[in-house]
Amino acid sequence: MDKKIKNIPHEEIVTLRELVPCQEGQVVSRTLAQNDAVSVTLFSFAKGEEISTHRSQGDAFVTCLEGVGKITIDGKEYILKEGQSIVMPADLPHAVYGEEAFKMLLVVIF
């Protein structure tokens, strides 16, 4: 049977932030699930790295796992810290920037 959730141990306790190392000068991602209805991805951003402004057809739910990130939604900036979450609504331009080394869980619902 094909696993719906991949790239993560099953039936084992994990700490999500440990699954995506911060690497100097890079954005690192690990896709955990992806289909027509949902996408679940872990990201790490080295300080100063970013995903530039883009749009998504789904609502994007971001949770900060570690560090500090700047989320820009339709031109408005939000500072996201460990344990905090924000929703980037579908079809609005948005971007993510590592204010410092930053790790996040992204869940997009299409």
Phi, psi of 19 (to 5 degrees): -85, -10
Give the whole-angstrom CA distance, residue 98 versus residue 69. 5
Secondary structure class of 17 (helix, strand, coil): helix
Return the pLDDT at 3.
Answer: 74
pLDDT above 70: residue 1: no
**Domain 16-109 adopts which CATH fold?**
Jelly Rolls (2.60.120)
According to the model, what pLDDT value does residue 76 have? 98
Per-domain residue ranges of the chain? 16-109
Query: For residue range 20-79, what is the model confidence (pLDDT) as tens digits?
Result: 999 999 999 999 999 999 999 999 999 999 999 999 999 999 999 999 999 999 999 999
For residue 55, give the 3-state DSSP assignment. coil
Q: Is 47 helix (H, G, I), strand (E, B) or coil?
A: coil
Q: What angle do CA 23, 12, 109 make, to 5 degrees?
A: 65
Residue-wise pLDDT tens digits, 78-109: 999 999 999 999 999 999 999 999 999 999 99
| pTM of the complete model | 0.95
